[in-house]
Amino acid sequence: MVLEYRTILHRKSRILLNVIFFSLCYLYVWTFIKPDLIYHGFGTIIPDVPLFSTGWQFLRDSLDIPGGLTVYAYGFLSQWYYYSWLGALVVVLVALCLCELSRQHYIHADHPRSTILHYFPAIMIILSYNQYGHPLAACLASSVGLLFSFAFERMPLRRSTIRMVVFCFMAAICYCLAGAGGVLVFSLMTTVYSLFLRRDWLPAVLTLPAAAAIIRALAEYVFYMSPKQAFLVLTPFSRNMTVGMGTLSKVSVVMLYAFVPVTIILICLWRMLFRKVEDTRAVHPNKTKSNKTRKAGRSRGASLAYFKKLIMPVIPAAVMTIGLYFGYDKTHRQIVLMNSLARQDRWSEVLELGNRLPKNIYNIYCNHDINRALYYSGRLAYDMLYFPQNPHAFLLTHEKEESSMKQLKMCDTFIELGNVDYAEKMASEFLVDKGSAGIVLEKLAWINIMKEQECTARIYLNALKKDLIYRHRAASMLSSLESGFEADEAAHIRRVNSYIRRNGNARLNKESIEEMLTGLLEHNPGNRMAFEYLMACYLFAGQLDKIAENIGLLNHLGYQDVPTLYEEAMLIYYGSLGRKLNLNELNVKRETIERYKRFVQLCNSMPAQNQQVVLQRLIGEFGTSYFFYYYKLTTSKLAKTPQS
């Protein structure tokens, strides 16, 4: 009766501890990590793109590959990260499942009182998500392996040969469902149990070779793939499993597969060592042990029980808290957040975040998103130099080979520029490389709508209707093709359509950036984005003569005044030529001229004063101006102030 009461009390304590621990995990993932940032990072910050499509065809195609059911579940569950609260629920439920499977294995290994070990796989999952990794596929594969192992160990099979036959049959099924990753966990657990618990040497020796032979045979005769590929499916050694992850996330993914087998080995070794000590004490008992010694032993036992009861349950939360604190990367989180905001066209928030980012952590993709935000807010030609700039950032020309991140980001930029053929090329390459992701299907549909190829657009939209997140958008666009688009969408389509060059796009792979932008401007001088991007390229290159050649387009493009950076560039240009500045023609503001005079005065004072002091004054007063940028570019003093 007492034992039964203690069992019930232990079960209630465990349930209460689970509720507290996983509730805290859920709140942290939902409110701080925000799984929607992970969803919007698919294909960019997270190079992997989990695919899912409704209908039987996608399921059948998934089952034709090893680990297909796990990949299918991985794609399905990943879609719900679009909603942060639901994505957090997915993360916590998967962690809870892995936690419970681990606990059942510890019970089977005769370690039922483990109050902390089975929480560590869940801790690894949360730590990986804290660095914006996406270990869901690894979680599912390792869970399937643990589930198969648990089912296998519960079977009443006594003869070694029969156990090996059943193992081979189950390993083949496990490979079909969870790939080599699931079989890896299953075979490791079977080897550990055979070696340490059953002392059955035949399975202990043959399990891993048999699993390898089964994978090779299935790869060659069922799935028709190379052995190298077959042995990497859903394992931590697969590049797709850990690509784009930080070191802590990669270690966490590896430990998801290895933690339970390794800890059970350590538990068994510890028990064997402890048993030897007990046997030694039984052979040589200490008959002279005093009452005081026995009381001290009971006191230590009571202290140990108190420690196990009150302190040990706190250890998982403490370990996770320490891991979250030291594994937190504020810089990376801000970059992930900026990528998400840009994917949703929330440009004002992109600029707000850009203002908060430390200047030393900008990467070229942040720079690209900020420049797009500046253009859409009408501030590119005014405030561009308020942010750290990389000349390659505008069109991401820094990459020799196009990454999936560049393909997605530049697809949007090229559509807005009217360079839709190149945008279609990038979207199609992404489609071939990553698969039919909803985001790229929508882009391809829009591209074909703007090219007035409605039949092709319908094909993409019908495929998009099978996406869980984009299906409502696809239905809306199909309806609009029938009845007409809303006024703002129709205006956007007409505007981009007017930018499209009807000839010359076939040369895009051979064109330089300048040739492409000037070609778009020659086709349609009203292409404001092409104009501002071209002028930005000239500003960065210091080609003041080209800026002077194109400054006349301002009136045609509807500018009310000359943007500040163009004013400053023209003052430098006229000053370098010693030409008189025609204020009526150029309409340069008087305050800009005064600032230029002040800048030239400070530059001319350098030989007479401490140059470092003057340079600091230049940065303080003119650090965000084109005057200072051009000064750094040329590393020489500016010419005289133009006469006005």
Q: Range of 611's domain?
A: 542-634
- Tell which of 300, 316, 332 closes a domain: 316
At residue 506 the predicted structure's pLDDT band, cuts being 50, 70 and 90, is very low
> Over the stretch 345-402, which tens digit does the pLDDT of each residue have?
999 999 999 988 887 777 889 999 999 999 999 999 999 999 988 888 888 888 777 7
At residue 111 the predicted structure's pLDDT band, cuts being 50, 70 and 90, is confident
Q: Which residues contact 436 (CB under 8 A, 6 or more apart)?
A: 51, 53, 463
Q: Which pLDDT does position 593 carry in this prediction?
A: 85
C-beta of residue 457 within 8 angstroms of C-beta of residue 448? yes
Q: Which pLDDT does position 18 carry in this prediction?
A: 82
Residue 381 located in a structural domain: no
**DSSP-derived 3-state class of residue 200:** coil
Percent of the chain scored above 90 by pLDDT?
A: 45
For the residues of 160-193, what is the DSSP string, one character each? HHHHHHHHHHHHHHHHHHHHHHHHHHHHHHHHHH
Q: At what angle do helices 330-343 and 364-376 cross, to 10 degrees?
A: 40
Q: Which pLDDT does position 126 carry in this prediction?
A: 92
Q: Which pLDDT does position 470 carry in this prediction?
A: 93
Euclidean distance between CA atoms 118 and 22, whole angstroms: 13
Q: Which pLDDT does position 9 carry in this prediction?
A: 46
Q: Which pLDDT does position 288 carry in this prediction?
A: 46
- The residue count for the chain: 644
Its pTM stands at 0.86
Residue 385 located in a structural domain: no
Task: Give me 194's structure tokens.
Answer: 């055979």
Sequence-ordered alpha helix ranges (H) in 578-625: 583-586, 590-604, 611-622
Q: Which pLDDT does position 2 carry in this prediction?
A: 44
For the residues of 275-317, what is the DSSP string, one character each? HHHHHHHHHS--TT--HHHHHHHHHHHHHHHHIIIIIGGGHHH
Residue for token pair 């916590």: 92
At residue 140 the predicted structure's pLDDT band, cuts being 50, 70 and 90, is very high
Q: Which pLDDT does position 144 carry in this prediction?
A: 95
Q: Closest Cα to residue 410, out of 398, 401, 423?
A: 423
CA 430 to each of CA 137, 234, 347: distance values in angstroms, whole numbers, following the listed order: 21, 22, 24
Q: Which pLDDT does position 211 carry in this prediction?
A: 93
At residue 509 the predicted structure's pLDDT band, cuts being 50, 70 and 90, is low
Taking residues 318-344, report their average pLDDT.
Answer: 85
- Quick check: 36 pLDDT over 80? yes
Q: Which residues contact 191 (CB under 8 A, 6 or more apart)?
A: 203, 204, 207, 208
Euclidean distance between CA atoms 127 and 320, whole angstroms: 7
Taking residues 512-525, report their average pLDDT.
Answer: 90
Taking residues 166-179, report their average pLDDT.
Answer: 94
Percent of the chain scored above 70 by pLDDT?
A: 86
- Tell which of 291, 316, 341 closes a domain: 316
Euclidean distance between CA atoms 594 and 571, whole angstroms: 11
pLDDT: is 373 or 18 the higher one? 373
Taking residues 525-549, report their average pLDDT.
Answer: 92
Q: Which pLDDT does position 157 carry in this prediction?
A: 78
Residue 105 located in a structural domain: yes
Pick the range with the lowest mean pLDDT from 137-146, 430-439, 605-614.
605-614
Euclidean distance between CA atoms 140 and 125, whole angstroms: 11
Q: Which pLDDT does position 552 carry in this prediction?
A: 86
At residue 215 the predicted structure's pLDDT band, cuts being 50, 70 and 90, is very high
Q: Which pLDDT does position 139 carry in this prediction?
A: 94
Q: Which pLDDT does position 113 carry in this prediction?
A: 58
**DSSP-derived 3-state class of residue 572:** helix
Average pLDDT score, the chain: 84
Pick the range with the lowest mean pLDDT from 48-52, 320-324, 541-545.
320-324
Taking residues 179-194, report their average pLDDT.
Answer: 93
> Over the stretch 123-133, which tens digit does the pLDDT of each residue have?
999 999 998 98
Using CA atoms in the order 397, 398, 403, 406, what is the torsion angle rounded to 10 degrees? Answer: -50
Taking residues 268-290, report their average pLDDT.
Answer: 61
Euclidean distance between CA atoms 372 and 515, whole angstroms: 21
C-beta of residue 132 within 8 angstroms of C-beta of residue 45? yes
How big is the CA angle at 574 (ends 573 and 578), to the nearest 5 degrees? Answer: 120
- Tell which of 316, 332, 348 closes a domain: 316
Residue 49 located in a structural domain: yes
Taking residues 232-238, report their average pLDDT.
Answer: 89
pLDDT: is 265 or 324 the higher one? 265
At residue 531 the predicted structure's pLDDT band, cuts being 50, 70 and 90, is very high
CA 206 to each of CA 44, 161, 190, 202: distance values in angstroms, whole numbers, following the listed order: 43, 11, 10, 6
Q: Provide the domain count of the chain.
A: 2
| 174-178, 237-241, 398-402: which is most confident | 174-178
Q: Closest Cα to residue 572, out of 557, 585, 588, 560?
A: 588
* Max Cα-Cα span within the chain: 112
Residue for token pair 């801790």: 123
